[in-house]
Amino acid sequence: MLKKITMNTRYLLVILVAALLPLLSTAQQRPDTPRKPSGSDTARTLQAAVVTATRPIVRREIDRLIYDLQADPDSKHSSVLEMMNKVPYLSLDPDGNLLLKGNSSFKILVNGKNSGLLSRSPNEILRTMPASTIERIEVITTPPARYDAEGLTGIINIITVKKIDNGYTGTANASERGPVGGPRAGFSFTVKQDKIGASAWGGANRSITPATDFTTTRHTFGTNVSDLDQQGSRRSDNNSSFGGIELSYAPDSLQLLYGRLGYNDNHSSGSFHQTSMLTSQGSPLQAYDLDGNNSGHSSDIDAAVNYQLSSRKNKSRIFTLSYEYDTYHNTQTSATDLFDELNYPIPDYRQHNLTQSREQTVQADFAESVKGWNIETGVKGIFRSNNSDFQYWQADSLSGKYTIVPGQTNQFHNEQDVYGAYASLQRSTKKWDYKAGVRAEGTVMDADFFSTGTKVNQHYFNIIPSVGISRKIGTTSTINLAFSQRIKRPGINRLNPYVDRSNPDFEKTGNPHLAPTVMNMIQLGYGFSGKISLNVSTDFSFSNSIDVQTTVFDPVRKVTVTTYQNAGKARRWGFDCNLGVPITPKWRASLNGNLAYFDVTGQVGDGVVHVKKAIYRTNLSTYYQFKKGWQTSASLNITSSGPTDLQTETRGFAGYSFGINKNLFKDKLTLSASVNNPFAQYRQNPTISFGPEFNGLTVVHEYFRSFNVSVNYRFGKQKLSIRKNKNGIDNNDLSN
């Protein structure tokens, strides 16, 4: 940040000198001009020239859009997830889940590298991550060939590391949010001296969700008429911490050695209560009440080492060798007690699930510039191992002791190896940018589901092309056209044939025969950067065999059964717009919106479900800068109703927020406060479901009003830039 401010200062000095040059040159051209007597001197006052440069919040490149969080005042008091509503192409659905172009199939990277915890629970982590610690967010809509092909709609790259200079720099922040949320604090510190650089970061937070109510209803018709009514409440408490360290050593100008070690740790607990009644034409068929408690602990440790070597004759010739290791452990335990049962003979039960995974990655990259062409090529191998041991314990009706139920116990082990190779070309001229690449990926997966006696062996090979062209129009406009192909491999949860009966009236199981989905996308975009900034784009994407969730009703057992099938065709037309307007030098407004039309067809049971729906999402925000470091901001978010899957749809909602910031000590200290939805304590979040011979509605009552106060402090002094690896491992082949 200090580096950028210094550069801006230099630009202002250049402009000021350029303005004074005509005066200086005039004086030098007339050295013999007689000087008037002092008594007749004319008094002249040179007015100070004030040059104000607006830092662009959004800028476009050939394959991505970049959102500068540090230039947005709302980042001082918001979480990263809340800021996503303002980033082009990104939005949040009514459940608070992050979407890229209305789709949940994407990959999140941190500083261009894979993050294990963000791959598993991105919304929870981003909800607790302060936006003030993030430099920018890159939305890569046409990922280059060096990125893995996973993620149907693209990649979100969160940049936390600012340019590290000789000296030291650091940040410290703390905040409190309620009634949903809690305290959080974090820090980052970087020091660099000559050839050695080190960075450390860490933090902790507590997220509390007080008890909220929910209702679920299901109506079946046809030959088996019945009505299911469930009501209950749930609460949760999560405590998490994270930290890490980076080391960099440059023995000379040609070599660079980089290492990283990081961890995440999370403890969770919760409780729930539910009553259930199944009736047919007003007569009770089945009923029960239950109370439950759950707890969990997960931890993730990742380490990486990179070696980079440059050529002495050609500094653009760079070779990088990288290795990364990641290990993850997750333990979940729950206890459920049932009472007041009617025609429901299931006794109390306990569930315990232990999940472990390990991932190793080896990668080699080579880059060089030849006659204006930037060439990149490389190879990569990812080797994964996953284990799960799910145990279901049931109470004996006489002794009360708990014993394992084999039919509801699930164990599996799977190995997945992904081999990749890529090559790409890029060239930039005064007016044009060209980029093209191809990636080849081979996948080998072997899985054993011991409890069901099922084995899965999948081997497939994909060639993934990407191409883009960009044209500069003058000094303010850019237009680009791109085509890309992406892939989504089915995760282990969708392949696992185990039947989840956590809610006795709803069953969920995987499909071991699922195949990967391939998506094709064409995109046309335009960007303008001046006093008014404008970025618009339109795209069309299609797939003929998407992986969809299907739900049917079993009339014999009166249970709703959900599984997955490669049974769908999808078409999507989209339009995205981001507009920034400086109303006055101190007052700015922005609009971020997207409109999409979906046409999805899928086989459900013996019938076909065809969904055609247009959805829209809009964020309107504004901020005003007062004197003496005061700033205020406000935003409005509107989300329409729309499908979340082939057979589910959520209703729309509108949310709003207000914030105020105060900068102190030359902007090093920032105090912030904000309120979200101050005039509504709760909101109802309904989800509609439908299928052959049934329809349903789930309504969750959620806290809507929230308050937040935070403090952020920046310190340090830097001089010279530290070197970082040009390339490195960025495992993005597993989507959310």
Residue 31: predicted pLDDT: 38
Which is higher by pLDDT, 134 or 213? 213
Domain that holds residue 471: 58-721
Report the DSSP pairing between strands 559-584 and 506-509. Answer: parallel
Query: Which of the residue ranges 46-50, 294-298, 373-377 would you say has the lowest mean pLDDT?
Result: 46-50
- Mean pLDDT computed over 626-647: 88
CATH number of the domain enclosing 101: 2.40.170.20
The structure's pTM equals 0.79
Q: What type of residue sits at position 683?
A: R
307, part of any domain:
yes
Written as one string, the DSSP assignment of 553-578 is EETTTTEEEEEEEEEEEEEEEEEEEE
67, part of any domain:
yes
Residue 548: predicted pLDDT: 86
Q: Band of the pLDDT at 21, cuts 50, 70, 90?
A: very low
Q: What would the pLDDT profile of 306-329 be if each residue is shown by its tens digit?
A: 999 998 888 889 999 999 999 999
Query: Which of the residue ranges 53-62, 259-268, 393-402 would you say has the lowest mean pLDDT?
Result: 53-62
17, part of any domain:
no
Written as one string, the DSSP assignment of 355-381 is EEEEEEEEEEEEEEEETTEEEEEEEEE
8, part of any domain:
no
- Mean pLDDT computed over 248-266: 90
User: Is 721 a residue whose pLDDT tops 60?
Assistant: no
- Mean pLDDT computed over 462-480: 92
Considering only CA atoms, which of 638, 711, 721 is closest in space to residue 670? 711
- Mean pLDDT computed over 429-454: 89
Given a contact cutoff of 8 angstroms between Cβ atoms, the answer to whether 647 and 690 are in contact is yes
Report the DSSP pairing between strands 706-721 and 669-676. Answer: antiparallel
590, part of any domain:
yes
42, part of any domain:
no
34, part of any domain:
no
- Mean pLDDT computed over 276-287: 90
Residue 720: predicted pLDDT: 42
Q: Band of the pLDDT at 86, cuts 50, 70, 90?
A: confident
In whole numbers, what is the pLDDT of the chain averaged over residues?
A: 83
Residue 94: predicted pLDDT: 66
Domain count, the chain: 1
Query: Cβ neighbours of residue 232 under 8 Å, at least 6 residues apart?
Result: 213, 214, 272, 273, 274, 275
Q: Band of the pLDDT at 35, cuts 50, 70, 90?
A: very low
Query: Cβ neighbours of residue 666 under 8 Å, at least 6 residues apart?
Result: none
Q: Is 190 helix (H, G, I), strand (E, B) or coil?
A: strand
Q: Band of the pLDDT at 17, cuts 50, 70, 90?
A: very low
Residue 32: predicted pLDDT: 40
Given a contact cutoff of 8 angstroms between Cβ atoms, the answer to whether 292 and 335 are in contact is yes
Which is higher by pLDDT, 728 or 456? 456
Residue 566: predicted pLDDT: 85
What are phi and psi for residue 475, nearest 5 degrees?
-110, 0
41, part of any domain:
no
The radius of gyration of the chain from alpha carbons, rounded to an integer in Å, stands at 29
